[in-house]
Amino acid sequence: MSSGSPLLADLIEALRCLPGVGGKSAQRMAFHLLERERERGLKLADTLHEAMQRIGHCTRCRNFSEEPMCTICSNASRDRHLLCVVESPVDLAAIEQATGYRGQYFVLMGRLSPLDGLGPQELGLDLLSERLGEGEIEEMILATNPTVEGEATAHYLAQLARAAGIKPTRLAHGVPLGGELEYVDRGTLAHAFGSRLSVD
C-alpha cells in the first residue's frame, strides 16, 4: 500500500502476525492507534517487547511464567494434594476463570501425537513423573481436551498415575448446561445417556 509513510506500511504488515488479523483489520488498527491511542499503543509496544523476551516456562508446571516458578506453583495456599493436567496455558486460564479449583497444575504444552513428533519427552512427562514420585499428590485430574488425541493422552497419563499409586480422574462428559437435546451432537448424547445418574 502506498500511504505516504513506509514506517506505517511496516506497522500494518507487522500487525498481521496477530491471529485473525488480515490486511484490512491491520490497517484499521494502525490508523486507530496513530489517530487516537498513541499512549496506549506505546504501552502495548513496551509490554509486548518485555513479554516476548521475558516470558518463559515455569520449571515446575511448564506454564508460562516470567519467573523460574509461576505464581500458582509458588502460592503456598494452594492444595498440594491435587494436580490438574491440561494441554495448554489457555486451558489452565479457562479452568481458573470458571471453577473454584485451588489445587496445582501441570501444563503439557501439547498432546501425545507421534505423527507430529510429540512424544512423552516433548510433553515433559519425565518432569511430571518426578513430581508424582514426590508423594504429595493424591488425585490427578486429567483435563486434556475431549478429542481423540486428548483422550489417548489422558489414558496414558492415567496409567502413569496408577503406577505411582495416585487416583486419576477425568472431567465429566455430558450435555452442556442450557443446551437443547435436539442440538447436542449424537456422540455426546449417546455418552450422556449411557452414563446417566440416579436422581436422589
Closer to a copy of itself by CB, 42 or 163: give it: 42
Which position among 22, 54, 81, 162 is part of the footprint of a copy of itself (CB under 8 A)?
A: 54
Torsion angle, CA of 118/121/126/131, rounded to 10 degrees?
A: -30
Site string for a copy of itself, 2-31 (x = CB under 8 A): xxxxxxx-xx--xx-xxxx----x-xxxxx
Mark the segment that binds a copy of itself (CB under 8 A) among 38-46, 117-125, 175-183, 187-195.
38-46
Cα–Cα distance measured from residue 46 to residue 40, given in angstroms and rounded to the nearest whole number: 10
Find out whether 86 and 98 touch, Cβ atoms under 8 Å: no
Asked if residues 85 and 144 have their Cβ atoms less than 8 Å apart, the reply is yes
Of 15 and 137, which CB lies nearer to a copy of itself in the complex structure?
A: 15
DSSP string, 109-156: SS--BGGGTB-TTTTTHHHHHHHHTTS---EEEE---SSHHHHHHHHH
Encoded amino acid at 152, one letter: A
Cell numbers for 114, please give them: 507421534
Q: Which of 22, 59, 64, 173 binds a copy of itself (CB under 8 A)?
A: 64
User: Which one of 71-79, 115-123, 145-153, 182-190 is the stretch in contact with a copy of itself (CB under 8 A)?
Assistant: 71-79
CA 200 – CA 178 distance, rounded (Å): 21
The interface with a copy of itself within residues 124-153 (CB under 8 A) comprises none
Contact with a copy of itself (CB under 8 A): which of 96, 116, 126, 130?
Answer: 96
Residues binding a copy of itself (CB under 8 A): 1-8, 10-11, 14-15, 17-20, 25, 27-35, 37-38, 40-55, 58, 61, 63-66, 70-73, 88-90, 92-93, 96-97, 105, 109
